[in-house]
Amino acid sequence: MNENIQPQQDQQETRSRKFWRVVLGSMVGFVLASIIVSVLSILMFLGMIASLEKTASSAMSSSANVKDNSVLVVDLSTPIAERAVEIPFDFGSYAQQSVGLDKILASLKSAAGDSKIKGIYLKTSTVSAAPASIKAIRDALMEFKKSGKFVYAYSDVYTQNGYYMSTVADKILLNPSGDMSLKGYAFQLMFYKNLIDKMDVDVQIFRHGQFKSAVEPYFLDKMSEANREQMSTLANSLWQVFLQDVSKARNISIDDLNNIADNLLCSSPKAALELKLVDQLAYADEAEKLIKVKLNLGENDKPNYVSLGQYAKTLSEKDGGGQKVAVFYAFGDISDGKGDSEKGIYSETFVKEFRKVYKDKDVKAIVLRVNSPGGSALASENIWHEIENAKAAGKKVVVSMGDYAASGGYYISCNSDYIFAEPNTITGSIGVFGMVPSLQRFLKNKIGITIDEVGSNEHASSGGIYRPLDELESQRLQASIEDIYSTFTKRVADGRRMDVAYVDSIGQGRVWAGSDALKLGLVDELGNLDKAIAKAAELAALDSYDVCYYPKQKDWFSLLFSVKDDAVDAAVRARLGQFYYMFDGMQQVLGCDGVQARMPMVFTIE
């Protein structure tokens, strides 16, 4: 019987060993296959990078090939940022190609002296930029015309911004069935008080400055008289810049332009022609025929068009390794901590990068290019302090203001050696505020949630969103606002060599156009970035120098992995249209932490 049992046991053990041999063999095979696949994936990824770099290099070199007898096409319909990272590929809807203001101005300056560029074809139906950027580009186009080359403008539709830009042209053409707007500037503000009341949300406001109107939409249903006064003054100041430039370019009096706007006389293309606002009614193909004639081309010949984006890729920064004037860009909201300098001004990141610049022995002067509506008061103070350190290190600091240098944006500008602004830069807004919402009534009355609490001390939960501040807490926060405002005005008074009382009289949160800021002494001179660079070199007693730009931008490959976030923002912008700016402004203010030095809103003017 034992002889019969033993073979069965051996057979059972053999089957068990076979099972585990198959399992272990499969596991080993899976691991080996995974390793092989991983290695192949890495090799393929490295190959893809090499291919992309080769393609990028090819794209850059092909774009740099500007043919003789070329026309530079200046199409400004994409949003214009202070700086835009150059992307050598077309990512379709994921990344709208745009050219930064820095490259636009540099391209126009280079094209004026480029023998291959014979003229400019200007397409400006819409111009997605704030007034100061638009004027900077327009002024650069005026400089281009001094080269004797032509500028022709054509559009199916001219918005006011687009028309303002086009008035530099030798010939302005409008589609016979198109449209044109000339009606003046207006600011329309949205107020949320009634919505907040319906939601049973309590918003406690703390501010210093009767004109500090950033928080007014949360407790008023219309503009305060102070805000109405400053907005009216600002609209008129900006409109005067428009009128003066257009009047000079078109030889139409300011009174006549105001009459056209007041009575909406520019109601059709025919009316625009009769009013001498445009030179000719034509279609796009007819506009191109005029360019052919200007280039002495035959009927079947085609002009060599080069886009602004392609031409910008032919430019290169000069760095001879000698004495330098550093241009340091600071644009976007001012926030505490670290962050991407392409998306805003973060105090820790700014200090780290700015310190590298002023500690460079070859850098003799710094131009701080400010384009910011402000933000965190604490971050603004920390940046102000670092600029003081740069001056103590012997560096001359000149500020060039862009579209905005208001509130915190002015805070970080006020202690420089010299300040330039455009006449339609929006600046000032010397004031601070704080806002603490309470959701207690909303939670209870709207969704049935109540809040209870315990704490080690009487005010342990102070500043939270689940209950209103009590009287003592409110007093303490208001006192903090007053202290910060006092520091702010003292910084301005010291930097601008003024009395604190005078700073307070023109402060109080009031915004000013650059032309008015010059009269008040908040800026030293009206001018663009080039003038600021020249002034910085003069103050540093430099006869020859290179201009270098900071912070260093990301390369296109690093940007490739961050395009998605920008695409989401672009999608929201496209979906909301003009409501995007209201959404963005509300989001910024509600997301504020701590005391803020921020202007009322970011303006958009069509």
In this predicted structure, which of 214-223, 350-359, 399-408, 477-486 has the lowest mean pLDDT?
Answer: 214-223
> How many structural domains is the chain composed of?
2
Residue 537 covered by a domain: yes
* Residues forming beta bridges with residue 325, ordered by sequence position: 365, 547
Which residues have CB under 8 Å from 590's CB, separation 6+? 437
Q: Which of 288, 312, 336 is the last residue of a domain?
A: 312
Residue 451 covered by a domain: no
Shortest CA distance to 254 belongs to which of 245, 243, 239, 265? 243
Catalytic choice (347, 407, 429, 438): 407
Residue 229 covered by a domain: no
Residue 15 covered by a domain: no
Q: Does 285 lie in the same domain as 177?
A: yes
Length of the chain: 606
Residue 511 covered by a domain: yes
Q: Does 302 lie in the same domain as 388?
A: no
**pTM for this predicted structure:** 0.82
Of 361 and 24, which is predicted with more confidence? 361
CATH number at residue 149: 3.90.226.10
Residue 373 covered by a domain: yes
Q: Does 270 lie in the same domain as 154?
A: yes
Please answer whether residues 531 and 525 qualify as being in contact, where contact means their C-beta atoms are separated by less than 8 angstroms: yes
- Residue 551 CB-half CA count within 13 A: 21
Is 116 known to be catalytic?
no
Shortest CA distance to 558 belongs to which of 38, 92, 107, 52? 52
Q: Which of 280, 312, 344 is the last residue of a domain?
A: 312
Residue 47 covered by a domain: no
Residue 574: the pLDDT is: 55
Q: Does 334 lie in the same domain as 305?
A: no
Residue 107: the pLDDT is: 94
Is 407 known to be catalytic?
yes
Q: Does 426 lie in the same domain as 290?
A: no
- Look up residue 552 and give its amino acid: K
**pLDDT tens per residue, range 359-368:** 999 999 999 9
The whole-number average pLDDT for the span 59-85 is 78
Catalytic choice (212, 324, 364, 395): 212
Q: Does 371 lie in the same domain as 306?
A: no
Q: Does 339 lie in the same domain as 302?
A: no
| Cα-Cα end-to-end distance for the chain | 103
Q: Does 277 lie in the same domain as 339?
A: no
Task: Dump the DSSP string for 17-67.
Answer: HHHHHHHHHHHHHHHHHHHHHHHHHHHHHHHHHHHHHHHHHHHHHHHT-PP
Residue 576: the pLDDT is: 56
Residue 57 covered by a domain: no
Q: Which two tokens stand for residue 598?
A: 């921020």
Q: Does 306 lie in the same domain as 389?
A: no
Task: Print the domain residue range for 177.
Answer: 66-182+266-312
Q: Does 416 lie in the same domain as 540?
A: yes
Q: Does 297 lie in the same domain as 148?
A: yes
Q: Does 568 lie in the same domain as 421?
A: yes
Residue 205: the pLDDT is: 86
Q: Which of 257, 284, 312 is the last residue of a domain?
A: 312
**pLDDT tens per residue, range 385-410:** 999 999 999 999 999 999 999 999 99
